[in-house]
Amino acid sequence: GAEDNYSEAVDHTIIGIEPGAGISVTTEKAIEEYDNLKGWDVELSSTGAMMSELGTAIQNEEPIIITGWNPHWMFAQYPDMKYLKDPQGIYGGEETLNSLARIGFEEDNPDAYKFIDQFEWEVEDMEEIMYEAEETGEDIEDISAQWVEDNQDRVDTWAEGVNDSNGAEIKLASTPWDSERASSGVLKAAMEQHGFQVTVTDVDVAVVFESVASGDADATLAAWLPVTHKDFYEKQKDNLIDLGPNLEGAKIGLVVPEYMDIDSIEDLEP
């Protein structure tokens, strides 16, 4: 019925995040590919602005369509939300967070390379850090360092067969989202236990790929594949080494509150 015309209610606008994010690029593609989204806009600003619009909408039980992803605390804070089905598969299925290294890094520093190659953890680990940062307001780097101390058995498996360093400087490129601040923070603290000196630089997704490809950065943990960062990856894949997933079971898509009576992107009226 007319009361269910969510498309008009949201002014044919999807609430997005930072313009440089993979999920923003993917949402522009969804708008091109779905006939019923023709002429729609994606409002790009910041993750913080999106989360605050989401909070207001939920408080007033108003319709809203956001770009959502896991791992993130949004589903812990607002459990009554759902991913819209994506029959065209624009947002993919399961995403993995991959580690990438610059060409030549293994030869230059085999121990650091091995450490980064052996780094892997679970969605629940990452979420533990993200939730705590969100709840306490404490710095995510500090919480990540504490996580390393509290999970020393796990952390030690990443260092198996690695010779301790005498202060080798390792440059990690990362992105400014909590997920990557957590992973980079954990790896930094873990590697520093073994004498490496790790610098983490938060940049745009495009710059992450460019800096690993050009050799300005040694490695990154921040590649969301195969879909979210596809364009960036395709452009640079011959100029970097893909070390494979450091985390499995990630996801991106369009997300709405449960009180919206639709299940699929295709249910949205043009």
How far apart (Å, rounded) are the C-alpha atoms in residues 177 and 190? 20
| Residue 147 binding ligand PBE, by CB under 6 A | no
E-strand ranges in 122-257 read 169-174, 197-202, 219-225, 240-257
Closer residue to ligand PBE (CB): 196 or 224? 224
Return the CA Rg of the chain: 20
* CA–centroid distance for 246 within its chain: 12
Match 């997005």 to its residue by tokens.
Answer: 16
How far apart (Å, rounded) are the C-alpha atoms in residues 14 and 16? 6
Q: Strand 197-202 to strand 81-83: parallel, antiparallel, or no bridges (unpaired)? A: unpaired
26-85 residues in contact with ligand PBE (CB under 6 A) are: 69
Closer residue to ligand PBE (CB): 101 or 126? 126
Q: Which of 22, 92, 185, 257 binds ligand PBE (CB under 6 A)?
A: 22
| Residue 23 binding ligand PBE, by CB under 6 A | yes
Which of the ranges 19-27, 101-109, 115-123, 233-241 carries the binding residues for ligand PBE, by CB under 6 A?
A: 19-27
Closer residue to ligand PBE (CB): 221 or 268? 221
Q: Which of 179, 184, 211, 246 binds ligand PBE (CB under 6 A)?
A: 179
E-strand ranges in the chain read 13-15, 41-43, 66-70, 81-83, 95-102, 169-174, 197-202, 219-225, 240-257
| Residue 129 binding ligand PBE, by CB under 6 A | no
31-35-41 Cα angle (round to 5)? 30
Which residues have a Cβ under 8 Å from the Cβ of 137 and sit 6 or more positions away? none
Closer residue to ligand PBE (CB): 7 or 183? 183
Q: Which of 73, 119, 196, 224 binds ligand PBE (CB under 6 A)?
A: 224
Q: Least distance to ligand PBE from the beta carbon of 197, Å?
A: 26
Which of the ranges 16-24, 76-84, 100-108, 133-141 carries the binding residues for ligand PBE, by CB under 6 A?
A: 16-24
- Please give the residue ranges that form the binding site for ligand PBE (CB under 6 A): 17, 21-23, 69, 175, 177, 179, 205, 224, 228, 252
